[in-house]
Amino acid sequence: MVERSARDLSSRNAPYPAPYVEHWVAQLYGVRPGILDNPEKLQEALRSIAAALNLTVRDTFAHFFNPGISAVLILAESHLSCHTWPEHEYAHLDIVTCSPAVKRKNLIQSLTREFQPRHLSVVKLHY
């Protein structure tokens, strides 16, 4: 068996073609009260974000930690996950898609609308 680095496994290096993947990470600070410790409100907000980004929700799951929630939306295009820390007014989101559906401007607008953070960081990861 030949070991290869992640760099070696990119679609540019046949015979190991990789599928198209976009990975976005968002960090939200100073998030409005009420959403970070309410699974129903959080899932509603995440579904709204998915709709705004033209992503197709297939299923949802949330686990309440008290405090905090981990929620996942299974998408036709991959997944959206969110983990919250109400005691820090913080949420962390990952959005992974197999299509170029997510636009940075739309993502920032929908996150701002749903979470009303005092500070927001959005990064697109490149592999």
Q: Which of 79, 83, 92, 99 is catalytic?
A: 83
Q: Judge whether 82 counts as a catalytic residue.
A: no
Q: Judge whether 83 counts as a catalytic residue.
A: yes
Task: Give bridge partners of residue 57 from the DSSP assignment.
Answer: 75
Q: CA end-to-end span of the chain, whole Å?
A: 23
Q: Judge whether 78 counts as a catalytic residue.
A: yes
Q: Which of 70, 78, 81, 99 is catalytic?
A: 78
Q: Which of 11, 88, 98, 119 is catalytic?
A: 98
What letters, b where the CB count within 10 A reaches 16 and e where it falls short, cover 84-118? bbbeebbbebbbbbeeebbeeeebeebbeebbebe
Decide: 91 and 66 in contact? Cβ < 8 Å.
no
Q: What are 75's two structure tokens?
A: 């998408």
Catalytic residue ranges:
78, 83, 98
